[in-house]
Each structure stands twice: as structure tokens, then as C-alpha cells.
């Protein structure tokens, strides 16, 4: 079992550490700034049949994320979040505030069952299409121009039903 606690952690250090867990995506290619406070625990064994129980709470302040070739430039980012896994897996980001091109974006995001996700997003603000495309998996979109204006957007993407 491991108890985790950190203050004034730097996002670029955490991105480098997390990058190894994202397969093809190299998070170190993003220029990230900001400070993270983190607390929680990792409990149990990690083997081919089971993963440990994870419960991490975190807060990001004074964050920014950019990638010149993907045209991602998000500034003044802050949010609080919680990552849980074990019998229940979820990621919750609350009170997300960021700016892009001097426009404020506010949102809340929750993803339940990370293995077969159900996504809930509430958002207000304007975001560049190039930024959205940069985070989409696959190669279906190669170039995007323009913006998406979100006013009281509520997006729910449910689990795939067989």
C-alpha cells in the first residue's frame, strides 16, 4: 500500500511521468505549466488479473498547456479532480476554468467506468476546433479551423450497449 501526498508539484514533471502509461501518446511533447496538489492512496497488488485500488484527489492552479504543431494553446487553467479505480473506476474534473484566445471556458467533466466509459460534460465558452481535434483519438481528423461556441452545453455519451 502506498499513501501519496504532494504540494507544489510541477505539471511538466507529472506529464513526463504519466507519459509512459499512455502508449502511443507522448505527453512530453506538450508544453505544460502549473502547480498540482495531490493526495490519496494506492492499495493492493498489481498483477495480470487485478489492479490496485486507487483514490487520488488533485487540484491544478495556474496551468497552461500548449503544443505548437497541434495548435493547442490553453492558459489560466485550474480545476479540482478525483481519480478512482478498483471495483469502481472514475475520473471527475470539477470547476474547470481556462482561457483560449482571451475567451474563458468553464466546464465540469465526469467519466464513469474507465474501461467502458460513460462521459458527462457541462461546458460554457469558446474553444478552437484545432484544440478539440488534437485530443481526439485516431486519424479521422487531420486539420480543423474555426471555433465551437458552447452555451450551457450538456453532453452525455453513454456506454456502448451490445
Rounded Cα gap, residues 122 and 156, in angstroms: 9
pLDDT, tens digit only, all 162 positions of the chain: 889 898 888 887 777 666 544 444 556 677 888 999 999 998 888 777 777 888 999 999 999 988 777 677 889 999 999 989 877 788 899 999 999 888 899 999 999 987 788 889 999 999 877 777 766 655 666 677 788 888 999 988 886 543
Counted residue by residue, the chain has a size of 162
Quote the pTM value: 0.79
* Cβ proximity of 128 and 147 under 8 Å: yes
**What are the DSSP calls for 79-96, one per residue?**
EEEEEEESSS-EEEEEEE
Amino acid at each position: 500500500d502506498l499513501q501519496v501526498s504532494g504540494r507544489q508539484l510541477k505539471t511538466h514533471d507529472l506529464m513526463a511521468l504519466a507519459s509512459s502509461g499512455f502508449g502511443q501518446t507522448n505527453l512530453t511533447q506538450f508544453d505544460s505549466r502549473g502547480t498540482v496538489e495531490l493526495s490519496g492512496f494506492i492499495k493492493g497488488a498489481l498483477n495480470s488479473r487485478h489492479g490496485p485500488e486507487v483514490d487520488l484527489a488533485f487540484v491544478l492552479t495556474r496551468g497552461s498547456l500548449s503544443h505548437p504543431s497541434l495548435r493547442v494553446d490553453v492558459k489560466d487553467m485550474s480545476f479540482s479532480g478525483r481519480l478512482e479505480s478498483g471495483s469502481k473506476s472514475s475520473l471527475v474534473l470539477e470547476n474547470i476554468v481556462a482561457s483560449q484566445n482571451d475567451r474563458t471556458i468553464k466546464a465540469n467533466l465526469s467519466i464513469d467506468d474507465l474501461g467502458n466509459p460513460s462521459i458527462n460534460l457541462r461546458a460554457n465558452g469558446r474553444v478552437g476546433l484545432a484544440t478539440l481535434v488534437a485530443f481526439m483519438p485516431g486519424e479521422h481528423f487531420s486539420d480543423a479551423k474555426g471555433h465551437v461556441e458552447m452555451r450551457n452545453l450538456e453532453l452525455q455519451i453513454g456506454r456502448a450497449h451490445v
